[in-house]
Amino acid sequence: MPKGYWVSAYRTISDPEKLAAYNKLAPQAVKAGGGRVLSRGSRVVAHDAGIAERTVLIEFDSFEQAVAAHESAAYQEALAALADGVERDFRIIEGLD
């Protein structure tokens, strides 16, 4: 079964305090949803239209599990804490195998 991934590229961080609040809640929600953080950091080389900002990659055992984790009450609480503190490009994608 193909894995699922969350890919999040932060374009701007306008409120570090909101990001910090999100960072306290989101890891627990991701773990509860079966996610594993593969990369989280600001060391990025961007090409084409990319922006060299914080990028996060999280792996789930399936695409469906990734979608369900995003829709969970725990992750929605984390998103509410983040609110408008960042502008990011967030995607859920299906792996190849």
Give the alpha-carbon dihedral of 32, 80, 68, 6, to 10 degrees: -90
Give the E-state strand segments of the chain in sequence order: 4-13, 36-41, 55-60, 86-94
- The encoded tokens of residue 75 equal 């992750």
For residue 43, the model assigns a pLDDT of 82
Contact present, 65 and 4 (Cβ < 8 Å): yes
Phi and psi angles of residue 34, each rounded to the nearest 5 degrees, phi first: 90, 15
For residue 92, the model assigns a pLDDT of 98
Q: What share of the chain in percent tops pLDDT 70?
A: 99
Give the tens place of pLDDT for each residue, 38-72: 998 868 898 998 888 889 999 999 999 999 999 99
